[in-house]
Amino acid sequence: MAWDFSTEPEFQAHLDWIRDFVREEIEPLDVLFPGTGAPYDRKNPATRGILHPLQEQVKKRGLFACHLGPALGGQGYGQLKLALMYEILGRSSWAPSAFGCQAPDSGNAEILAHYGTPEQKRRYLEPLLAGEIVSTYSMTEPTGGSDPGQFRCRARREGDEWVIDGEKFFASNYPLAEFVIVMCITNPDVPVHQGASMLLVPKGTPGMTALRLSGIFNEPLGQGMHAYLRFEGCRVPAENLLGPAGAGFQIAQTRLGGGRIHHAMRTVGQCNRAFEMTCERALSRTTKGSLLAHKQAVEQAIADSWIEIVQFRLQVLHAAWTIDRSDTSRARTEIAGVKVAAPRVLTNVVGRALHLHGALGMSNELPLIEMWMGAPMLGVMDGPSEVHQTTIAKQILKEFQPSAGLWPSEHLPARLEAARQKYAAWLEHEVGNL
């Protein structure tokens, strides 16, 4: 039997160190420097002065950018090891940056590593991997939604340049980014999955303008880290095409697939943190003469959260294991599955924790309300859950066949007749002897 849920001692020692390091050194940064954009502000001397030494400690342990291969300074870990790491890093918004695996920079680094020119790697990839700069990945459009067939941002070749015209929405981290990777339609005469390409656009390129910034949660209107971009005659050199022309979606799916499961891995960490708060609260508060932990409804809530977290964690680990086995077709289904499950589980687990904390849980004095408001984002980012449900259904249905006749294959009258025929001789002998 090959079933085994243990972790090799050497890697478990790494996980133990990561767990202590995140709790003691990194989680305090979430309180000291709040805000979703704070970990990405590499030009802020205060945050950079704290983050850089933490990154150096991670590098000394050989745990920085572990998703990348040794040639790029990483360990080349498979998804299963990353899952065990990222569920710990998911406890803190700062932890991915400290470990060199923050989105969208991790995916953009992989694209540059595979398709960038030597000069692009020197100018953008090296400082990106070193944690000195951040980047933006821009695919979503104001009218595109989840249908890439509606994309309107175009790029046409003119001599030694690409000229971009169109709009993009919710380009994350744009105010702090040194470059943007933009998905454009380069051939409108073929299906979108064959006619889209990726272009690298440096910050400050004429013709690329941020019309406004959008925020999340309760950030003030007009402020935030997500840009509404307009491209008007924006010119970039021909070598800024990343990968072959028309291969944009092929590259994107490889990138987004990893992003989806990594979000799910980190969601396990968020759920665990909320669950710890739930249990602590239940053992700390008394009402109607007894601890909350002794109330039947609270016991049921704790049990439900534990069950959902365990189920979800095993689903994520199984998806990671499937990817590591290079079972591409099955991995696509598994990734879609964790993408759909993540917002549901986070909503349920954090919702119970928030409810148990009452008014304090809804306040800005605990992280629960922000965690809970982040759950709907998981259902939208990297494609809405409904799209992935469709993917799952289509893949799963390939494994089944329609019933051969008028009635379902489990129709009991037909099964009974078949069973009688199969054992006719035995029935005749036994019945005859009764």
Residue ranges of domains in the chain: 9-102, 134-246, 250-397
Tokens of 232: 């008007």
Number of H helices, E strands in the chain: 16, 10
Query: DSSP character for 219?
Result: P
Say if CB 388 and CB 396 are below 8 A apart.
Answer: no
What pLDDT score was predicted for residue 381? 84
Residue labelled with tokens 């160190």: 17
What does pTM read for this prediction?
A: 0.91
- Which CATH number does 250-397 carry? 1.20.140.10
What pLDDT score was predicted for residue 48? 83
Q: Does domain 9-102 have CATH number 3.50.50.60?
A: no
In sequence order, the β-bridge partners of residue 168 are 229
Tokens of 393: 């259904």
Mean pLDDT of 340-363: 97
Q: What are phi and psi of 179, to 5 degrees?
A: -155, 160
Amino acid at 132: E
What pLDDT score was predicted for residue 265? 96
Mean pLDDT of 226-240: 97
Q: Where are the alpha helices (DSSP H) in 38-140?
A: 45-60, 79-89, 95-98, 105-115, 118-120, 126-129
Say if CB 243 and CB 253 are below 8 A apart.
Answer: no
Say if CB 279 and CB 271 are below 8 A apart.
Answer: no
Q: Does domain 134-246 have CATH number 3.40.50.620?
A: no
Q: Which of 176-180, 248-252, 310-314 has the weakest average pLDDT?
A: 248-252
pLDDT digits (tens, 9 = 90+) for 91-102: 999 999 999 999
Amino acid at 417: E
Report angle CA 292, 295, 297 to the nearest 5 degrees: 110
Burial of 130 (0-12, 13-18, 19+ CB in 10 A): middle
